[in-house]
Structure 1
Amino acid sequence: MALIFSILQHTKSFSSSNISTYVQRRMSLIPRVGARYMSSVSTVNAKANDRKENIVIVGAGIAGLASAVSLQRFGIRSLVLEQAESLRTEGSSITLSKNGWKALDAIGVGDELRSKFLELQGIVIKADEGKVLNSFGFKDEDKSQELRVVERRVLLETLASKLPPDAISYSSELSKIETGENGNTLLQLQDGTRLSAEVVIACDGVWSPTAKWMGFRQPKYAGHITFRGLGYFPEGQPYEPKVNYTYARGLRAGYVPASKTKVYWFVVCNSSSPGPRITDPSILRQQAKELVRDWPVADMLNLINLTPNDTLTRNPLYDRWLWPLISPPPSSGKTVLVGDAWHPMTPNMGQGACCALEDSIVLTEKLAEAMNSKNISVEEAFKAYGSERWRRVFPLTVMANRVGALLQSENKLICSVRNNIIVPKLLKPRTMTRHANYEFEQAKRNKH
């Protein structure tokens, strides 16, 4: 009970206006304290044959491509470096709530993606013995809510298609990053190529080399592993457009129709360690099936069996809590972190990709103002981005972690309270969707 009470108290406090007041008082101190992480970084001279670029984006994932597309809105070109030989389209799907769709609409790809994926109407939550704990529609209390599951491959390919053919440089793995004497950032690639970039936007993922260079600690393992896949029904999938969750002790699973022929599924289990990296699809399929084999939910086993090998994944869950006055700021000079590179979070709130998209919009709008109007400097734009976004992502990261702890609990009493009180009596549509009611600061100013 103490754990559940603590979780609920944390959730209430992080969603209140108190966090904004606290942060506004503290944020101005963070760059000053965080600067100590960069004090040991030496500056080096650029070489005459260094390739010069105005803006380099490191990583062609969701945040990187969205940032590049967003900059195009302002007539600003960027070069995207991707270490792989092509887009990394492996994996299954991501959840996008109303705030994620707002971001995609802002860069002009929302409607194109909406036409390919089903809008989810509601949610059904069951216990592992099959009892329905709760169900409701996402629009029951707010008609503006929008939730869809989007194939990662389709999202990346759609974003990449909006860029010029030479905008993405593949097989460009970053091996070294340094600060040049002229203030530029020097990037050395594995093949020996050296770039001198006026601005670097690092979207290089959970294990970001740029974040490490800037003094961030490594993300922390959350104690859970998730198996994911995308069941394929060539003749059409049979499910209603709803989220289907099942909770057990130390284990949960769910499936969500993504399109007319595909259904996203996941299984989350507890593990004391991340374990070895497993990519063999036959092993992944077997492990996922073993976790839910005894459940009276035949749909899960069927979905796992119908999943193509290239969408099967196993991912340990990590996050990084950006404690005020302790964590470095997300920017150093004209280098800035975006998405998972800055604030990896567990998927328990369904906000990882949404927040990365939000980051991209906020950052590029501020950067465009600095580059086009010269009213503020790039460094000032990045500090403003960090201040605005920290107030958003820190509470969400903590909340996602604590929700995961509750949902993955193995304690019999806590699971009983979860299944008999919290989920059936306290969980409402607004509880699940309020974090999607994000409005960009620029949109707020335009209203006034």
Structure 2
Amino acid sequence: MTRTERAVVIGGGIGGLTAAAALHRRGLHVTVLERAPSLQPVGAGISLSPNALRALDVIGLGDPIRDLAAWQGDGGVRTPGGRWLSRSSARAAAERFGGPLVLLHRATLIDHLAAQLPPDTVRTAADARLVDPGDENWPARVRTPDGELAADLVVAADGLRSAVRGTLFPRHPGPVYSGFTTWRLLIPVPGVDFASHETWGRGRIWGTHPLKDGRVYAYAAAVTPAGGHAADERAELLHRYGDWHDPIPAVLAAARPEDVLRHDVHHIAEPLPAFHRGRVALLGDAAHAMPPTLGQGGNQAVEDAIVLAHHHDDLGAYTAARLPRTTAVARQAVRIARLNLMTGRVGTAVRDTAIAGLSKVRPALFLRGFDGIADWRPPQPPYASEHTQVG
């Protein structure tokens, strides 16, 4: 009788649960260890581009998520005074990349991923520590409050401050401050009609996007020293963005202080030498945390998970497939952050003029920035969904 391989996933976020679902489909016995008391993430939206949706197709979730999510793309980039610098089209994006860009609540995606797993797969309030990464001759070992688990594969999806990454690569410098902080809101804003937009100012940006359930997902970012917090973050947003164009004042008027989430942004500036060691594989922010300026952090974690399941018995192939791609995407996200969070008056004016001019000549200017990213396909079928066809 063939022995069933065992996988232990440390971290129950989007990347960890996607990996767990994909490995379960491959026939592995999977245990997910999540430190938090529940799987429910803090209230925020997540944008999924066609590359991640095709990855989710592999585990049968692409179409359900497309059906639940709002299509993105009808809108564009504006100035704080409301002038459009660039317009975009959801249909044009879908045609270019073979499927839509969509937006939904993170909790919705988490719930659907968790539903792919057998009962009792996920253990919450389970603090896990890697004791031994193992090698080809013996299993990896993970210590939990209930004892040690031996595993043929350990998936480290334990986020930006990954303890497993520190154990595998103790000399790596880890994440660095990206130079800006972010705020997020997910709230109902009755009676407000608007087009999706991202607004670029001097050292500040704001984005407003409708969800399919009628709520509004809004986010902001500003160049500021690390570690800052206000007693009332809604008041801080009013101070920074209250005089920007509609619907930003209406969103802020509808928000309560407790609706606003604030987090400094960090990224891994120096790529890791590998995404694996022994029988342990890193994925998502634990492997390649990046600024959110391309909206690819969660998308790349989903890609990682599907590719890892494909190469679960050859982690060298996993590193070879993922390290160059995620390094390139992370570097592009850093470049975009420098562009849309410019602080100089002259540089900002030149940027805005260039974007407006180029957008008239090349309407698909911003879509081109996703070439090589959103058109990615997973290494195994199925990756063609009837919903990805535009016609």
- TM-score scaled by length of structure 2: 0.88
- 2:241 is matched with 292
Task: Choose which of 194, 197, 203 in structure 2 pairs with 1:244.
Answer: 197
Distance 1:309 1:259, change over 3 A: farther
Aligned counterpart in structure 1 of residue 126 of structure 2, from 172, 187, 208: 172
Q: Specify the SS of the correspondent of 1:119.
A: strand
Checking the alignment, whether the CA contact within 8 Å between 2:55 and 2:378 is kept in structure 1 is: no
Q: CA separation of 1:176/1:442 partners in 2, compared to 1, >3 Å: closer, same or farther?
A: closer
Aligned to 1:130: 82
1:213 alignment partner, SS class: helix
Give 1:24-39 correspondences, 5 Å limit.
Answer: none
Give the corresponding residue for 1:392.
Answer: 325
Quote the Cα distance in structure 2 between the aligned partners of 1:444 and 1:394.
Answer: 26
Question: Deviation at 1:429?
Answer: 4.6
2:22 partner amino acid: S
Q: Please tell me whether the aligned partners of residues 54 and 197 of structure 1 are also in contact (alpha carbons under 8 angstroms).
A: yes
Write the distance in 2 (CA, Å) between the matches of 1:444 and 1:258: 27
Match of 1:112 among 64, 69, 74: 64
Q: Deviations over 1:98-146 (max 9, x none)?
A: 1111112221112222222221242221111222211121433761241
Q: In structure 2, do the counterparts of structure 1 residues 149 and 399 end up closer, same or farther at CA, with 3 Å as the change threshold? A: same
Letter in 2 for 1:223: G
Give the number of the structure whose alpha-carbon radius of gyration is greater.
1
Task: Answer whether contact 2:51 2:299 (CA < 8 A) is retained.
Answer: yes
Question: 2: distance between equivalents of 1:346 and 1:82?
Answer: 24
Alignment match, 2:336: 403
In structure 1, what is the equivalent of residue 173 of structure 2?
A: 217
Is the Cα–Cα contact under 8 Å of residues 183 and 333 in structure 1 kept in the other structure? no
Alignment identity in percent? 26
**Residue in structure 1 matched with residue 227 of structure 2 by the alignment:** 274
Query: 2:70–2:211: 8 Å Cα contact kept in structure 1?
Result: yes
- Once the two structures are superposed, residues 269-311 of structure 1 have per-residue CA deviations (whole angstroms, 9 ceiling, x without a partner) of 01122336x7xxx72222222210222x242232234347775
Following the alignment from structure 2 to structure 1, what is the Cα–Cα distance between the partners of residues 334 and 22? 30
Structure 1 counterpart of 2:6, from 49, 54, 67? 54
1:102 aligns with 2:51: no
Question: CA distance change for structure 1 residues 437 and 178 in 2, over 3 Å: closer, same or farther?
Answer: same
Amino acid at match of 1:314: R
Q: Secondary structure at the match of 1:140?
A: helix
User: Who is 1:342 aligned against?
Assistant: 287
The 5 Å alignment of 1:277-426 reads: 283-295=232-244, 297-307=245-255, 312-323=260-271, 327-367=272-312, 378=313, 381-425=314-358
1:155-195 C-alpha deviation (Å, 9 max, x unpaired): 10111112112000111112453346963222222x36222
Larger displacement relative to structure 2 (402-411 or 430-439) = 430-439
Q: Equivalent residue of 1:115, what SS?
A: helix
- Number of paired residues? 371
Deviation at 1:231, TM superposition (A): 2.0
Q: Which whole-Å CA distance do the structure 2 matches of 1:274 and 1:186 have between them? A: 35
> RMSD value over aligned CA atoms?
2.5
Q: Which residue does 2:374 correspond to in 1? A: 436
TM-score normalised per structure 1: 0.77
Q: Is the 8 A contact 2:290 2:334 kept in 1?
A: yes
The residue that corresponds to 1:90 in the other structure is: 42
- Deviation at residue 79 of structure 1 after TM alignment: 0.3
The match for 2:389 is none
Aligned equivalent of 1:183: 138
Give me the whole-angstrom Cα distance separating, in 1, the residues matched to 2:325 and 2:36.
31
Return structure 1 stretches of 4+ with deviation > 6 angstroms: none
Higher helix share: 1
SS at 2:232 equivalent: helix
Q: Matched residues in 2 for 1:401 and 1:75: separation?
A: 38
Residue segments in structure 2 that go unaligned for 5+ positions in a row: 385-391
Aligned-partner SS, 2:119: coil
Q: Distance in 2 between matches of 1:267 and 1:149?
A: 16
The corresponding residue for 1:16 is none
Q: SS at 2:60's partner residue?
A: coil
Letter in 2 for 1:407: N
- Residue in 1 aligned with 2:15? 63
Contact 2:7-2:29 within 8 A present in 1 as well? yes
Secondary structure, counterpart of 1:63 in structure 2: helix
Give the deviation of 1:257 after TM superposition: 0.8
For residues 225-255 of structure 1, what are the alpha-carbon distances to aligned partners after superposition, in whole Å with 9 as ceiling and x for unaligned?
Answer: 010011214xx66435x53111111111010
* Contact map agreement 1:229 1:265 (CA 8 A) in 2: yes
The one-letter code sitting in structure 2 at the alignment partner of 1:428 is L
Paired AA for residue 320 in structure 2: S
Q: Which segments of 5 or more consecutive residues in structure 1 lack a partner in the other structure?
A: 1-51, 368-377
